[in-house]
Amino acid sequence: MGEQNYTPPLGTGDTQDYDRAIRIWTRERRWRSALLQATAPVAGETIIDFGCGTGTFAVMLKTAQPDVRVIGIDPDEEALTIARAKAEQAGVDVEWRRGFASDLAGDSADAAVSSLVFHQMPVVEKARAFAALLQVLRPRGRLLVADYGRQRGLMRLLFRATIQRLDGVADTQPNADGILPDLISEAGFVDVREIDRVHTVTGTIMLLEAKRPA
């Protein structure tokens, strides 16, 4: 995320309630399962979960394929505390780091994933994060993003009534206008495509896939 600019969980920093809200309001099982299938972790790979939050998806990755190295990075220490507890309960080993995308410099990964993070970041920070993730990926490395995308009709109204009330308009509106695929391409990724779309009572969550050029 941005070096300073990011919106805390639920727009308020109420991390304890974050998992419950995501589960109830976003059809979490549906889009997380789709994201896991699209990531398709392979034994021996290194996968970065950018903005890992409370660690749900990082733990899913490690549980699905124990022989991958999973690095979960997030600036919120309270969220990481919950993430560590989840990993311990699941009996899996995930590398948790407190930091931003720029703090990954020097790492190398086969895939980077991110879920429900980019809509909370200013446009300039979204762009910087995609550029940083491009640099950390190996040639043909995969980028998978699950986040709020272009909102149309009823979905736009629901998005305004929920996500934008919690997280504000300035950072979330570019997502609602469909900016993410363009930002990913501008960062240098290729083969950018939408692979799924999940309608929820908080708006449409879009799954995007892209690759670092060979």
Question: Residue 152 belongs to what domain range?
Answer: 9-211
Of the ranges 1-10, 16-25, 137-146, the best mean pLDDT one: 137-146
In a domain, 3, yes or no: no
Q: Tell me whether residue 2 is in a domain.
A: no
Q: In sequence order, what E strands does the chain have?
A: 46-50, 69-74, 95-98, 109-115, 137-148, 190-200, 203-211
Count of domains observed in the chain:
1
Task: Please state the rounded mean pLDDT for residues 188-201.
Answer: 98
Identity of residue 105: A
37 occurs within a structural domain:
yes
Residue 119 within a domain? yes
For residue 21, tell me if it sits in a domain: yes
Q: What is the pLDDT of residues 109-163, one digit of tens each?
A: 999 999 999 999 999 999 999 999 999 999 999 999 999 999 999 999 999 999 9
- Cut 0.85: pTM above it: yes
Q: Give one word for 90, left, alpha or beta, with left for phi > 0 and alpha for psi -120 to 50.
A: alpha
The CATH number of the domain where 162 resides is what? 3.40.50.150
Measured CA distances, 156 to 66, 89, 160, 166, 201 (Å): 39, 38, 6, 15, 10
Q: Is residue 1 part of a domain?
A: no
User: Is 17 within the bounds of a domain?
Assistant: yes
